[in-house]
A and B are shown apart, each in its own frame.
Chain A
Amino acid sequence: EAGVAQSPRYKIIEKRQSVAFWCNPISGHATLYWYQQILGQGPKLLIQFQNNGVVDDSQLPKDRFSAERLKGVDSTLKIQPAKLEDSAVYLCASSLYRGNEQYFGPGTRLTVT
């Protein structure tokens, strides 16, 4: 069974530029999560989708971050404009349903200069 796929694996941008990350969850998984992991810290949930609806986006900085999961399968996370403090690894995870084990992708390492 294929795992959670993410791309790109690495991205370097200048501050004030925009960037987008893509995630393809495990087939059949209804719940999708985006996490931000700053160096030396644990992952922090940014947004959670159940199918194509948002369940929790309370920690998403909505002035610059947006995410969508239009067809209830893959998802994109966008940052516009990026700030230096957005440098982090962005992890995507999926689970069969809410409350089930989460499976993480390898992440996208973002560096903002």
Chain B
Amino acid sequence: GQQLNQSPQSMFIQEGEDVSMNCTSSSIFNTWLWYKQDPGEGPVLLIALYKAGELTSNGRLTAQFGITRKDSFLNISASIPSDVGIYFCAGQETSYDKVIFGPGTSLSVIP
């Protein structure tokens, strides 16, 4: 079945540093989504991407839809302590299909 891989699995960074994480798929997706989950809460949608090559920003977050449609990237600039959490990529074949989640990247920010 469809499977997503995320790297790195976890990362520890200093406050103020930039962060990059990526997501790869065994199959093509036509929608890529990035979520953040805080402890004890459900995931919250950060960015949605709908077109190969698309680059979309949301504040300090920037995500890209890979041109092969089998990968996506998320960058966070100038990290702050509230960026701590687990970041999930997710893909859909179409926006009406079920959302397939990756295993997540755990981010820790050292003040």
Contact = CB atoms under 8 A, between A and B. Distances in A.
Say if A and B assemble together.
Answer: yes
Interface of A: 4, 40-45, 48, 56, 91, 93, 98-99, 101-102, 104-107
Contacts, number: 43
Contacts of A104: 41-44
A106 B101 contact: no
A6 to B, nearest CB: 9
Interface residues of B, number: 19
A110 to B, nearest CB: 14
A48 B97 CA distance: 10
A101 B101 contact: no
Q: Which label, helix, strand, loop or mixed, suits the secondary structure of the B interface?
A: loop
Interface string B75-100: 00000000000001010001110110
Contacts of B42: 4, 91, 93, 104-107
Contact of B90 (A40, A42, A56, A91): A42
